[in-house]
Chain A
Amino acid sequence: SQQGEEDPQALSIQEGENATMNCSYKTSINNLQWYRQNSGRGLVHLILIRSNEREKHSGRLRVTLDTSKKSSSLLITASRAADTASYFCATDESTALIFGKGTTLSVSS
């Protein structure tokens, strides 16, 4: 089963612009994570936000979490061509991470 659903499915922007991706989930969570995947390879962990946190920053990344709406957003500021990848949110369910289908981000120079 897939808990998280990212929106939009695909996003195309120019270098220097900001990219915002949203994630909705169904059940209560302990934490929510965001991962990046380049060209169908392994996933790279970007950031983890706990259920009692509302916002978290890491470099050019900003993540928000709204547990009342069961949603999260990932903002990438000043996008670069190297940010081109698929982005997934993941929630925890017992021993598993449950991923959405992802947002494919394309940053053109």
Chain B
Amino acid sequence: ETGVTQSPTHLIKTRGQQVTLRCSSQSGHNTVSWYQQALGQGPQFIFQYYREEENGRGNFPPRFSGLQFPNYSSELNVNALELDDSALYLCASRNDRGATYEQYFGPGTRLTVT
């Protein structure tokens, strides 16, 4: 157990809908990253938040957005869901903004878009 929790565990949505996924970081960690992992692939970086501000983004469209709250919990929002958004969504936290030290991953949210 890493101390990072995510909710919900599983989610089924319809194409065009919107979804919010939640992450609670490990205590003391001020940086959270979100990753998308399609079946049979490695995780792909969506974005990172440090002290409530986005400070890095991968190759994902603007309909993927996020928030980080003062208690360092985080949300990932996806608008206008597409079938290809079906994936495991992972959040990861760490306590250093600069160097990329080890990250502590949550168990993930499995999103299915029909």
Contact = CB atoms under 8 A, between A and B. Distances in A.
Chains A and B are bound partners: yes
Contact of A42 (B45, B58, B101, B107): B107
Interface string A21-38: 000000000110101000
Contact of A95 (B4, B43, B56, B105): B56
Interface in B4-61: 4, 33, 35, 40-45, 48, 55-56, 58-59
Interface in A86-106: 88, 90, 92, 94-102
B40 A42 contact: no
Name the interface size band of chain B.
Answer: 20 to 34
Nearest to A1: B59
Interface string B86-114: 00101010000001111111111010000
Which secondary structure characterizes the binding site on chain B? loop
B101 A48 contact: yes
Nearest to A101: B42
- Of B33, B45, B88, the most chain A CB neighbours within 10 A belong to B45
Nearest to A99: B42
Contacts of A2: 41-42, 44
30 contacts: A1-B59, A31-B99, A40-B88, A40-B108, A42-B4, A42-B90, A42-B106, A42-B107, A43-B90, A43-B92, A44-B2, A45-B103, A45-B105, A88-B43, A95-B48, A95-B55, A95-B56, A96-B33, A96-B45, A97-B43, A97-B92, A97-B100, A98-B45, A99-B35, A99-B42, A99-B43, A99-B44, A101-B40, A101-B42, A102-B42
Interface of B: 2, 4, 33, 35, 40-45, 48, 55-56, 58-59, 88, 90, 92, 99-108, 110
